[in-house]
Amino acid sequence: MTQPCREMSSLPIGVKKTILWRIGILRRYLRLVWNQAIACWVGNSVRYRQLLHKNTMSNSSPPHPSTVTEGDFPANKIPSIHRISESSSDLVPLKISLLGDCQIGKTSFLEKYVGRDQNNEEEEGYASAGLYQMDKTLSVGGARISYSIWEVGGDDSSQNVIPVACTDSVAMLFMFDLTSRCTLNNVIGWYQQARRWNQTAIPVLVGTKFDDFVQLPIDLQWTIASEARAFAKLLNATLFFSSATYNINVNKIFKFITAKLFNLPWTVERNLTIGEPIIDF
């Protein structure tokens, strides 16, 4: 019994940390698989599959099956959220970072939330090597909050801009493509890099392209959802499945962040149903 311990102690610190990370992920994954097999195997909810199938068969513009409603907050404590175009010196600037691999839908997600019109070149935004930044201003309970949202590009050259994107952020969204499990595995690297520069930001794990995800076989959906929940617990992050195309959970994610930052009521319940956009916290 002592021989493995001696061998472990002789390994370099970096290798030991990697081993411990993998053991932690494996333990959490096995525990979730067991719990899910007992409690959560309730069959596929076909509501979203049918809806998306109907829209792929038609040429009409897609509806928005899951949009944020006032039911997310109690009626007497609903924050007023809207775009404010005029500049003001009394705004409270807050920074949010978006991190993840290339081609996973980060830019579409950001532009859906900000409400950018792709045909309007006058929309506020800033792009540089490896960074894309946009602003959105909210009115929350009488306070005027300006969110500055920084998206890290995702390629190798983007590693150099992580300190700029993450320093002073109040929340960090670690994003992956629900149809690409390797992008989920890479979240760990993004998380480790980001935490070097920011230890206090609220972590949120966001799976993108839910509209493509629900077209996958149900057993594969179940596997990916279980892995995503395991990763979220490992990062101590809230998990959301989202779709920029259908505006599924995009606004809800930022409402969640706002509620956490300003101690507002959060009434949205967990949703662990396979075939529906999962929310786990």
pLDDT digits (tens, 9 = 90+) for 6-47: 555 565 665 555 666 566 555 555 554 444 443 333 334 444
- Locate 126 and state its tokens: 């800033």
pLDDT of amino acid 191: 96
- Please state at what angle helix 13-39 crosses helix 218-235, rounded to 10 degrees: 130
Task: Name the DSSP letter for residue 81.
Answer: -
pLDDT digits (tens, 9 = 90+) for 237-267: 999 999 999 999 999 999 999 889 888 887 7
Q: How far apart are CA 190 and CA 208, in angstroms?
A: 16
- Locate 162 and state its tokens: 């992580």
List C-alpha distances in Å: 149 to 134, 137, 213, 235: 5, 11, 26, 21
pLDDT of amino acid 59: 40
pLDDT digits (tens, 9 = 90+) for 116-165: 644 333 344 555 567 888 999 888 767 788 899 999 988 777 788 899 99
Q: What is the CA radius of gyration of the chain?
A: 20
Outline where the chain has alpha helix (H). Answer: 2-9, 13-39, 47-56, 106-114, 162-166, 181-185, 187-195, 210-213, 218-235, 250-262
pLDDT digits (tens, 9 = 90+) for 174-219: 999 999 999 999 999 999 999 999 999 999 999 999 999 999 999 9
Tell me how long the chain is: 281
List C-alpha distances in Å: 144 to 54, 69, 181, 264: 41, 21, 39, 15
